[in-house]
Amino acid sequence: MRAIVLLNMGGPNNLEEVELFLKNMFNDINILPIKNRFLRKFVAFIITNMRKKEAKSNYEKLGGCSPLNIYTKKLIEKLSLLLPDIYVTYTMRYTPPFAKDTIKELISKNIKEVFLISLYPHYSKTTVFSSLEDFYITAKELRFDAKFYEISNFYKNSIFNEAIIEKIKNTLNGENPSEFDLIFSAHSLPKTLIKKGDPYQQEIEDHVQILKELLKKKDIEFKNIHLAYQSKLGPVEWLEPSLDEMLKNIENKKVIIYPISFTLDNSETLFELHIE
């Protein structure tokens, strides 16, 4: 039997998991690249304790949990109906279900082929690599002997990009696009990671160019099209321009923001873009 496993970062299933989410994320060497394990744990402990109160407050405003989990389950339900001969499930990097939970489930169902599909459109060591690495290490530990296939990015996929254009058109709701500025907002990354060869920024920029050309082909002409970055954390240098600064500097009051690096709504889209 074959299975599809959707990979994502996860988010708290309840307020009690907020600290677990932060702790696991900042203990990931791909997120916090401190080689000394004990030093990394110490720094992660400090960051977690600094952020957990505010993070818990944010999730309270979102109903007490991450919307990512809800939408992931809905996606699985739809895929299961479309693909009745394939078992569809998911694993999260920092909150349950973890890789070990999902792999035990796959073993119990005698799965022999697994399609690992990252829900990140763009490749980064902090996201796609981290999720795949964790899954493969856990599979080896649990002696899960299956054939694996992986989709590690899909920002060039024409069906995916047509869906983005359709979403933007629906947001316009018949209004003239030339009256609007369009901002593609991507999750930011520290510049140090990009300097070490992470392809994320280049893939984001390539994706924006693909979407610009698609919009032009469909005669959807915005006043201006921008790329900005959101969700930066801490005093290090992050990818720029920041979404906050861009919004301050845009004179046009008609702005559409499309979260280009997110495929499902989560705290970054619903809290940062809708509430903040």
CATH of residue 230's domain is 3.40.50.1400
- Asked if 124 and 41 count as a contact pair (C-beta separation under 8 A), the reply is no
- The contacts of residue 249 (CB under 8 Å, 6+ apart) are none
Integer Cα distance of 134 and 5 in angstroms: 13
pLDDT for 59 equals: 87
Residue 207 domain boundaries: 158-275
- CA-CA distance, 8 to 134, in Å (whole number)? 12
Residue recorded with tokens 């919004």:
247
- For the chain, the helix, strand and coil percentages under 3-state DSSP, each to the nearest 5: 50, 15, 35
148 three-state secondary structure? strand
Phi/psi for 154 (5° steps) reads -150, 25
| One domain, residues 89 and 108 | yes
pLDDT at 67: 87
Beta carbons of 11 and 65 less than 8 angstroms apart: yes
Phi, psi (deg, nearest 5) at residue 120: -95, 125
Nearest by Cα to 262 from 158, 185, 150, 152: 185
| Residues 36, 224: Cα–Cα separation, whole Å | 46
| Regions in the chain scoring below 50 on pLDDT | 270-276
In whole angstroms, give the CA distance from residue 63 to residue 57.
10
Please report the sign of the dihedral spanned by the C-alpha atoms of residue 28, residue 29, residue 30, residue 34.
positive
* Cα–Cα dist 38/98, whole Å: 23
Residue that is last in its domain, among 151, 181, 203: 151
Q: Any idea which residue has 């254009």 for tokens?
A: 165
Structural domains of the chain, count: 2
Q: Note the helical H segments in 62-98.
A: 67-82
Tokens standing for residue 170: 């629906």
Q: Do both 11 and 99 map to the same domain?
A: yes
Q: What is the pTM of this model?
A: 0.91
Considering the domain architecture, whether residues 37 and 81 belong to the same structural domain is answered as yes
Tell me which residue of 166, 157, 167, 155 sits closest to 207, measured CA to CA.
155
**Same domain assignment for residues 174 and 201:** yes
**pLDDT at residue number 272:** 46
C-alpha dist (Å) from residue 149 to 81, 116, 133, 199: 22, 6, 13, 21
Domain shared by 256 and 135, yes or no: no
DSSP state for residue 132 in the 8-state scheme: H
> CB 194: neighbour CB atoms within 10 A?
17
Final residue in a domain of this structure, among 151, 171, 206: 151
Residue with tokens 């818990």: 56
Examine the domain organization and report whether 115 and 162 are in the same domain: no
Q: Residues 6 or more apart from 1 whose CB is under 8 A from it?
A: 87, 109, 110, 111, 112, 113
Domain boundary among 151, 171, 201: 151
